[in-house]
Chains A and B, each alone.
Chain A
Amino acid sequence: MGLEQALVVSALKKTYTKGTIDIPVLRGVDMHVAEGEFVSITGRSGSGKSTLLNLIGGLDTATSGSIVVHGRELTGMSRTELAVHRRRTVGMVFQSFNLIQSRTALENITLALAFGGHPRPTRRQRAGELLSSVGLGHRLDHTPGELSGGEAQRVAIARALANAPGILLADEPTGNLDSRTSCEIIELLRQLNRKQGITVIMVTHEEDAARSVSHRVLRLLDGVLLGEASGEVSE
């Protein structure tokens, strides 16, 4: 675990406004994640976990505060700069996989490579390697509809890694999976973290699993991040 900060979030606020009603979701979040760290975030449903992850991922913009990823300030970036951030710096994994149904596993990944500016001729080869690395080398030409939940999530993880981001943001990656498959996915993330040094920030409801794999488990409550309780890290 390096000493470099992969992510520094300070006084981050996010308020949704619906008509005249303000819904403050994040009320001042402070957070530091070191390079190569595995951090889990837990919290009740509706506590703003996804909101926080989307802000870090550059899908959403903060109301105030600052998010610095790899030394670059996100708040104040133009939408185009945010798109570049999403394609290069972070990779995102979602509870509902969010694969494009009409494209095969391989094509889902080549699309990400295309957005990342990867040269066309080697895209398929690179996508194949990525799928092999998540244990799906034999299911390249299957569409998401033909894959199980666990397999689909592996494709989604491979896609998130396509443009070699330093940080993987996983929003309840095991939320739609049975406990056995969940363990496999968590194990895959652990390996990516430990073997490839990818920084992982994972939102999860499964505190036990989180504790077993993460360096730290953070808790989001009433719009602020609580107690940087350290996880039972097993290297």
Chain B
Amino acid sequence: MTFRDLSSLSLENLWRTKLRTSLTVLGVMIGIGALVSMVSFGSGIQHNIAREFRELDLFTTIQVLPSELNLEDPLSMDLDAMREASPLDDEVLELIRALPGVMLAYPEISFPALVKLGDAETKTSIRAVPSELGQRKPFSEISFGRFFESDDETSIVVTERLLDDLGIRLTDGAAPSRRARDDTTRQLTMVASGDVIGRTVTIVTSVLDENVLTRAISRTLMPTGRAPFREETVTLDIVGIQSGSMGFSGLGVGGRALIPSGTAERIPRLSFSSIWDLLDSRDGEQEYDSIHVKVGEMGELEAVGDAIEEMGFGTITLADYLDEMKRTFLLMDALLGAVGTVALFVAGLGIVNTMVTSILERTREIGVMKAIGGSESEVRWIFFIEAAIIGSLGGVLGLGLGWAVTRVANVAANAYIRPYGVAPADFFHMPIWLILGAIGFSVVVSLLAGIYPAGRAARVDPVKALRHD
């Protein structure tokens, strides 16, 4: 008997007991569907975070801090030692830039400012970055216009969120955030992005007025005293717009507007990132809270990081988190997978049950098949193939079911996150290994489930099976 004969016999048998077959297939389908959607969720989360880390260029980024940080136990850090640590100044910046493998190193500079555009104004945080960053993600992702071409341009790249705060909604921009949408009291002007590029914004910063400060300290209790600040004004041209939407991980470019680092140096300002600045800044030397370092390739990250740590500074790299994250993901995957596997295991028992029932019903038929020349192995194959058909059919349909479930869940999840201004993401990822693995797994489970019934069918004693009633 050929394999084709055996399988058509199996198919006929399954077709004869349509209801029972379809219920068993349904069981496998649900098992595989559960497994696929669970694992695809786990895989989707990892996929999104990995993609975003790539997009944010985090795999080639080192953040340098003034001293060693103990991430696992922040309380154990010696605050005095931290204050004593060598400062991150321009000298250090040059040393880091000279390290082999370092493509770009720039200090973290951001400061509060009042931004005025036309009649509108809003308080925001402005970040200064070197123009080279325009080559790298996520800064290279400009929705309209361009990034800075030099560090000394008097230009600014704004985010849609900043424009929103200024009462401007782009006719061709990304979806508005819920906060913006719910705020119906505000008058929003609809403007095309082309009309925003080229407009001039005025930046108003505060600087410490040392004359006032001295007086203020001597008269702390005098509420009528003038604030120890004065204002500085700079005008900049809008050259580009970034959507500025928060990514999946909540990470983004940071700040609501970007200006070139050279231009930033010429803007007198008060950094509000650290209270130490306020007290230390009078010694003239500029100190940074942190320095961002970009390397060319992920492989160079470790060597550069080690070199910086030898200089006595703390570093934070993605690699520090990656192992921890991998462990977490592995645990999550295992848990999700286990739930699906239990469902599939139950479906496997369903196959065994169906097959055994069918063998009990068909004992006489098996006897007949043996009497007309069927061998044990042929009988075994017929039932084995039946189990395999149930399994693979359930696997393929379950894959479809799992896919459908993830699509529906994805739409629901995106509808849920959209109001928070998070960019739409695919929460589920169905890599080819999952598709093949799910079908393979269902076939393996069904074959395992088929072993006992098929063996039992093969061992049917024809003499007993055929004995007349």
User: Measuring CB to CB, which residues of chain A are less than 8 angstroms from any residue of chain B?
Assistant: 54, 57, 59-60, 79-80, 83-84, 86-88, 92, 94-96, 98-100, 102, 111-112, 114-117, 120, 159-160, 162-163
Q: Are B372 and A87 in contact (CB under 8 A)?
A: yes
List residues 324-373 of chain B with CB under 8 A from any CB of chain A.
Answer: 364-365, 367-373
Q: Enumerate 12 A-B pairs (CB-CB under 8 Å) in ascending A order.
A: A59-B371, A83-B374, A83-B376, A84-B375, A86-B371, A86-B372, A94-B371, A96-B469, A98-B466, A100-B368, A102-B16, A120-B4
Point out the residues of chain B lying under 8 angstroms from A100, CB to CB: 365, 368
Q: Are A60 and B376 in contact (CB under 8 A)?
A: no
- Is residue B81 within 8 Å, beta carbon to beta carbon, of the partner chain? no
Instruction: Kindly state the separation between the CA atoms of A185 and B16 in the bound complex, as whole angstroms.
Output: 32
- Is residue B377 within 8 Å, beta carbon to beta carbon, of the partner chain? yes
With CB as the reference atom, state the residue of chain A lying closest to B17: A102
- Encode contact with A along B443-469: 1 for CB under 8 Å, 0 otherwise: 000000000000000000011001011
- Is residue B378 within 8 Å, beta carbon to beta carbon, of the partner chain? yes
Which residue of B4, B16, B377, B463 contacts A59 across the interface (Cβ within 8 Å)? B463
Which residue of A79, A88, A92 contacts B371 across the interface (Cβ within 8 Å)? A92
Q: Are B371 and A98 in contact (CB under 8 A)?
A: yes
- Is residue B5 within 8 Å, beta carbon to beta carbon, of the partner chain? yes
Nearest CB in chain B: distance from A95 CB, A: 5
- Is residue B221 within 8 Å, beta carbon to beta carbon, of the partner chain? no
Q: Are B466 and A87 in contact (CB under 8 A)?
A: no
- The prevalent SS among residues of B at the interface is helix
- Encode contact with A along B1-22: 1 for CB under 8 Å, 0 otherwise: 1101100010000001000000
Known: A60-B463, A120-B4. A115 touches B373 (CB 8 A): yes
Q: Are A159 and B372 in contact (CB under 8 A)?
A: yes
Q: Are A114 and B371 in contact (CB under 8 A)?
A: no
With CB as the reference atom, state the residue of chain B lying closest to A109: B372
Instruction: Kindly state the separation between the CA atoms of A120 and B373 in the bound complex, as whole angstroms.
Output: 17
Q: Are B463 and A84 in contact (CB under 8 A)?
A: no
Point out the residues of chain B lying under 8 angstroms from A95, CB to CB: 468
Known: A59-B462, A94-B468, A98-B466. A117 touches B1 (CB 8 A): yes
Instruction: Kindly state the separation between the CA atoms of A163 and B466 in the bound complex, as whole angstroms.
Output: 20
Instruction: Kindly state the separation between the CA atoms of A83 and B468 in the bound complex, as whole angstroms.
Output: 21
With CB as the reference atom, state the residue of chain B lying closest to A93: B371
Instruction: Kindly state the separation between the CA atoms of A116 and B101 in the bound complex, as whole angstroms.
Output: 75
User: Measuring CB to CB, which residues of chain B are less than 8 angstroms from any residue of chain A?
Assistant: 1-2, 4-5, 9, 16, 364-365, 367-378, 462-463, 466, 468-469
Most chain B CB neighbours (cut-off 10 Å) among A79, A92, A115: A115
Instruction: Kindly state the separation between the CA atoms of A195 and B323 in the bound complex, as whole angstroms.
Output: 86
Q: Are B466 and A94 in contact (CB under 8 A)?
A: yes
Point out the residues of chain B lying under 8 angstroms from A79, CB to CB: 375-376
Nearest CB in chain A: distance from B73 CB, A: 70
Instruction: Kindly state the separation between the CA atoms of A162 and B373 in the bound complex, as whole angstroms.
Output: 11
Q: Are B375 and A80 in contact (CB under 8 A)?
A: yes
Q: Are A80 and B377 in contact (CB under 8 A)?
A: yes
With CB as the reference atom, state the residue of chain A lying closest to B374: A115
Q: Are A96 and B468 in contact (CB under 8 A)?
A: yes
Q: Which 8 A-B pairs have the closest CB atoms?
A: A87-B373, A83-B375, A115-B373, A96-B468, A112-B372, A114-B5, A86-B373, A59-B462
Q: Are A98 and B1 in contact (CB under 8 A)?
A: no
Point out the residues of chain A lying under 8 angstroms from B9, CB to CB: 111, 114
Nearest CB in chain B: distance from A62 CB, A: 13
Instruction: Kindly state the separation between the CA atoms of A88 and B365 in the bound complex, as whole angstroms.
Output: 19
A79-B376, A83-B373 are known contacts; what are 12 more A-B pairs with Cβ within 8 Å? A54-B463, A57-B371, A86-B373, A87-B373, A96-B466, A96-B469, A98-B371, A99-B368, A112-B372, A120-B2, A120-B4, A163-B373
Point out the residues of chain B lying under 8 angstroms from A92, CB to CB: 371-372
Q: Are A120 and B469 in contact (CB under 8 A)?
A: no
Q: Are B368 and A98 in contact (CB under 8 A)?
A: yes
Q: Are B4 and A112 in contact (CB under 8 A)?
A: no
With CB as the reference atom, state the residue of chain B lying closest to A96: B468
Nearest CB in chain A: distance from B264 CB, A: 83
Instruction: Kindly state the separation between the CA atoms of A111 and B9 in the bound complex, as whole angstroms.
Output: 9
Point out the residues of chain B lying under 8 angstroms from A111, CB to CB: 9, 369, 372
Which residue of A80, A115, A120 contacts B372 across the interface (Cβ within 8 Å)? A115
Q: Are A86 and B376 in contact (CB under 8 A)?
A: no
Instruction: Kindly state the separation between the CA atoms of A115 and B377 in the bound complex, as whole angstroms.
Output: 12
Point out the residues of chain B lying under 8 angstroms from A98, CB to CB: 364, 367-368, 371, 466
Instruction: Kindly state the separation between the CA atoms of A79 and B370 in the bound complex, as whole angstroms.
Output: 11
Which residue of B370, B373, B469 contacts A116 across the interface (Cβ within 8 Å)? B373
Nearest CB in chain A: distance from B155 CB, A: 79
Known: A80-B377, A94-B466. A59 touches B370 (CB 8 A): yes
Point out the residues of chain A lying under 8 angstroms from B368, CB to CB: 98-100
With CB as the reference atom, state the residue of chain A lying closest to B373: A87
